Amino acid sequence: MDDTVTCPYCGEEIDLAIDQGGGQAQEYVEDCEVCCRPMRVSVSASDEGEYAASVSRLD
């Protein structure tokens, strides 16, 4: 599944692909596909199995 997040650096909306096989709580670093700066991605799943991503700056 995908979620849409807003890059904390350039403000562009990005579609992130969420790998549900990675578990219900994930954290990793991914480069923004627009400005190529690295951001921390946090993925969490609700009890209903809905996955949501949020992003924050690394610094």
Task: Using CB under 5 A, list all residues that contact Zn ion.
Answer: 7, 9-10, 32, 34-35
DSSP one-letter code for 18 = P
Sign of CA dihedral 44, 46, 7, 55: negative
- In the bound state with Zn ion, the residue whose beta carbon lies nearer, of 10 and 58, is 10
CB of 52 to Zn ion, least distance (A): 19
- In the bound state with Zn ion, the residue whose beta carbon lies nearer, of 9 and 40, is 9
- In the bound state with Zn ion, the residue whose beta carbon lies nearer, of 35 and 52, is 35
Secondary structure class of 35 (helix, strand, coil): coil
Contact 22, 41 (CB under 8 A): no
